[in-house]
Structure 1
C-alpha cells in the first residue's frame, strides 16, 4: 500500500465519572484528550489510529506531524513490523520511548487497520484463524478517594453485571470499601499508580492478601523494577501487574519473568506491532496479558481485535466514565461484563464526521 496522506485530528471530549476529578492525572481530569490519526492510501482506503494523549495531546500531535508523518508520505509499505523498527531507529535521537513511541503507536495502529481492510477482514481474523467473538470485560473505576463513593460505585457496576472491578484507590480504607461494595464473590484489584513507597507496600500487601485482590497494579516506583515487583508478588502471594507505561517489548522483557500480569497499552507500547511482541514474551515466560485500554478511540477498538486474536489476553479494561460523545457511535460497550468484538474490516472503527467537527481542538 502506498501512503497518500497522514493527518492528525486533535480532539478533546468531556466526560462524567462521579468523582472529584483529581488523583489519576497531574491536574483535574474531566476531558479525554485524543490524538486521532487518519492515513489514506493512494487507492483511497483510510486507516485510523491514535497515540496516547492524556495530558500530552499537543506533544503527541506535534510528534506525529513533525517526526513520523514525513517518513511515511509517498512510501510503499508492506512489512509493518520492519517499518515500526525503522521508525524507532530513525527517531531514536528524540528518545526511543515516551512521546516518540506514542506517535509511532498511532500510525502503526492505522497501518494495521489498513492492512486488514486491504485483505477485507477484521484485524482479529488477519491475525488468527479462529478469533474470539466476545471478551470478558472489567469495570475500571476512577479514583474517588472517599470510601463511601468507592463502595457505591463498586456495588453499582456489580449490579450491572460486572464480575471483576478495578479500583484506583491507594488508601486501605478505600480499598476495603471497594471490597465491601463489590462483595466477596467479585474479583477486585487496585491500580496504585506507583503511589506507595516500598516500605509502605510491605506493610499493606498482607492486607491486599486478606482482601483477596485479583492483582495489585504498579504498587511502587519505578514500575519496571522486576526484582522488587517479583519479590512483592512472591512474598505476599498477590499477583502483581505492570506495564501500562512501558514502551516496546524491550521494557517488558525485564518484567515478564517476574510478574504475573503484563499490561501493554496499544497507544503507548508501539502499536499493534509491539503489542504482539509482548504477547509472545508473555507466552515464553508463563505470564498473562491484561491490556491497559482506558480509551474510546482506535485504541479501544484495536485492543478488542488483539485480545480476540491472542488467547493469552485475559480481560478487557473498560474505563467506567460517560463521555459526552463516542467518536464511533457503534462502539461495542460491555453488557453484563461481556463485550462483543466487531467483525468489520480493519479494527472496525469509523468515526462520525460531525463528532470530529464538534470536538476538534
Structure 2
C-alpha cells in the first residue's frame, strides 16, 4: 500500500456561541469555526482523514501542510505510522516543535491511524487495545461570557440539554462561583483560565475559588510552559492543576511531571503530534500517577480520535466539546451528545468520514484565508 495523494481542506463554518454578541478570537469576532481537514489517499482505494488544530483563518498552517508535510508522504506506506511520524518530526524540527508543523503532523498521524483501522476492518479503539466503555461522558466547554447573569444562563441551558459535566473559561471569581450556584453541588465543573496570572495571583485565585469545589484549575499561569510555577500553584493553592494543550510532545510532559506540576495531563491530539504521541504521553503519565484527560477543541476527525482514545483508557475520561452551534457539522453525523454522552463508533477506523457536501459548501480558498 502506498500514499498517492494528500489534500488539505480548509473549512469556515458559520457558528454561534449561544450569546447575543460573538466572542473574540485573534481580535476579531468569532462568527465562523475553522476546520482543517487532511485527506490521505492510497493506491488500494482506502482514504484516511485527519484534522489539525486551526484558528483565525490560519493560512500559514495550510501552507506548512501543503508545502512541507504533504510532499514527504507521497509513495510512503501509510501503515508505517511511527516511521513516518519520526521522519516528519526530525526533518522539520527546525521549523518549531509546537505550532503549525506539530499541528500538521498531528493531523497526518490521525489520518494514518484511520487508514490502518479501515484496512484492518477494526475501529480505532480496537487498535489501541480495546474499549472500557461503549459511550463517553461529554463536558460542555463553555466560552468566556464575562458576567454573572450570562454565566448563570448558559449553565442552566447546558444542563437542560443533558450535559452533566461543564468547563468554564471565566477569570472573574464571582462569575465562576455563579456557575457552581447555578449547577448545584453535584455537577462536576472544571475551570480553564488560559494562563492569565503570575504565580502569586494564581495561588490567591485558587483559594478564592476553593468554595466552588472545581475539578481542576487549568493553565493558571503565564507562560503555559512555566511548569515550576504551576507546581507552586499546585503545592500552595486550593485546587488541583491541569495543563498540556500547549505542550509539544511527551518530552514537555515529562518536564511537567518531574516538576510535580500536574494532577491532570491534557494532550490535544490535533496539536501534540496526534494519536501516536498521546499514547506515549499516557504511558508516561501512568508512570507518574497523573490522570490523562485530553483537551479537544475541534468537531471533526480530531474529535473522533479523542473519543476512541478516551474509551481506550481505564478511567474513561470525559470528552471536551466546545459549546458552539455550527451551521453544519464537518461530519454528517453531528455527534451531538445524548443524555450527556456520545457513543463510541463501531465501524472501521475513526468511524465516520467528513461530509463531502459540507466540504464543498464551506471550503475557503487561499485568497480568502488572510484577514484584511
Partner of 1:231: 232
Partner of 1:265: 268
Tell me by how many angstroms 1:108 deviates.
0.7
Q: Greater CA deviation, 208-217 or 198-207?
A: 198-207
Partner of 1:342: 345
Distance in structure 1 (CA, Å) of the matches to 2:231 and 2:172: 22
1:213–1:151 CA distance, 2 compared to 1 (3 A): same
Structure 1 position 137 matched with structure 2 position 146: no
The answer to whether the 8 A contact 2:132-2:316 is kept is no
Tell me by how many angstroms 1:56 deviates.
5.2
Partner of 1:331: 334
Tell me by how many angstroms 1:190 deviates.
1.5
Q: How does 1:1-361 map to 2 (within 5 A)?
A: 1-19=1-19, 20-22=21-23, 25-55=26-56, 57-257=58-258, 258=260, 259-361=262-364
Distance in structure 2 (CA, Å) of the matches to 1:360 and 1:24: 20
Tell me by how many angstroms 1:71 deviates.
0.6
Unmatched 5+ residue regions in structure 1? none
Distance in structure 2 (CA, Å) of the matches to 1:308 and 1:5: 31
Distance in structure 1 (CA, Å) of the matches to 2:190 and 2:160: 18
Tell me by how many angstroms 1:147 deviates.
1.2
Tell me by how many angstroms 1:131 deviates.
4.3
Deviations 1:164-207 (A, max 9, x none): 21110001121121112111221212211011232321221112
Tell me by how many angstroms 1:160 deviates.
2.6
> C-alpha root-mean-square deviation of aligned residues, in Å?
1.5
Distance in structure 1 (CA, Å) of the matches to 2:132 and 2:40: 26
1:148–1:336 CA distance, 2 compared to 1 (3 A): same
1:25–1:286 CA distance, 2 compared to 1 (3 A): farther
The answer to whether the 8 A contact 2:199-2:232 is kept is no
The answer to whether the 8 A contact 2:25-2:56 is kept is no
1:208–1:247 CA distance, 2 compared to 1 (3 A): same
Give the aligned length: 361
Distance in structure 1 (CA, Å) of the matches to 2:286 and 2:77: 33
Unmatched 5+ residue regions in structure 2? 365-372
Deviations 1:50-80 (A, max 9, x none): 1111125211111110001111011224331
1:255–1:269 CA distance, 2 compared to 1 (3 A): same
Deviations 1:92-150 (A, max 9, x none): 12122211101111111101100111100101011113442111111111111121010
Q: Greater CA deviation, 214-223 or 153-162?
A: 153-162
The answer to whether the 8 A contact 1:151-1:181 is kept is yes
Distance in structure 2 (CA, Å) of the matches to 1:245 and 1:191: 13
**Secondary structure of the equivalent of 2:209?**
helix
Q: Greater CA deviation, 296-305 or 131-140?
A: 131-140
The answer to whether the 8 A contact 2:215-2:240 is kept is yes
**Secondary structure of the equivalent of 1:74?**
coil
**Secondary structure of the equivalent of 2:29?**
coil
**Secondary structure of the equivalent of 1:256?**
helix
The answer to whether the 8 A contact 1:318-1:334 is kept is no
Distance in structure 1 (CA, Å) of the matches to 2:214 and 2:351: 34
**Secondary structure of the equivalent of 1:219?**
coil
**Secondary structure of the equivalent of 2:139?**
strand
Deviations 1:198-251 (A, max 9, x none): 232122111221211111111111122222212211222311110111111111
Tell me by how many angstroms 1:337 deviates.
1.6
The answer to whether the 8 A contact 2:204-2:237 is kept is no
What TM-score comes out, normalization by structure 1 length? 0.96
Distance in structure 1 (CA, Å) of the matches to 2:298 and 2:79: 28
